[in-house]
Amino acid sequence: MDWVVDCSFALALCLPDAGSMHAERLLVKVRSAVFWVPSLWWYELANAIAVARTRQRLDEAEVVQACEQLGTLPCETDLAIGWDIVRRLYELSRHYRLSCYDAAYLELAQRRRLGLVTLDRRLNAAARDAGLKTAVG
């Protein structure tokens, strides 16, 4: 089974203080899958790494190592966008009380009929409530 993965999961793999042990266990659970991400994921990931560097959670060598490690993930980017997606993100964000950013992961999982891997409790609960398979819980 392929999965949609969010930024919380990816970051936990490379930030030692972000639940990396839990993320590693999840990675073993979903290892042979393709990881689908919305295009937003790349920007969110880059920003989180930059913020981690600014806050000295990572040094320059660790940034390089994190990018190399994340580069090994079998990611496929879903490029679907348009007013139908915008409307759907709005509806999901309102229904599940998520940001539209988080709703992007939920929308992608629903549209592609995939499970969702996230360490975000609210997003995980929304996915379960929506009837999606989750790697957590």
Can you give the CATH number for the domain in which 24 is found? 3.40.50.1010
CA–CA dist 100, 35 (Å, integer): 20
- Count the domains in the chain: 1
Residue 1: Cβ-neighbour burial (10 angstroms; 0-12, 13-18, 19+): exposed
Look at residue 135 and tell me if it is in a domain.
Answer: no
Mean pLDDT, the chain, whole residue set = 89
pLDDT reported for residue 6: 93
Which residues span the domain enclosing 46? 3-129
Look at residue 134 and tell me if it is in a domain.
Answer: no
pLDDT reported for residue 136: 74
- Give the 3-state secondary structure of residue 99: coil
Look at residue 17 and tell me if it is in a domain.
Answer: yes
pLDDT reported for residue 33: 81
Look at residue 50 and tell me if it is in a domain.
Answer: yes
pLDDT reported for residue 17: 63
In tens, the pLDDT along 23-79 reads: 666 666 667 788 999 999 999 999 999 999 999 988 999 999 989 988 988 899 999
Look at residue 102 and tell me if it is in a domain.
Answer: yes
pTM summary value: 0.89
Look at residue 137 and tell me if it is in a domain.
Answer: no
In tens, the pLDDT along 122-136 reads: 999 999 999 999 987
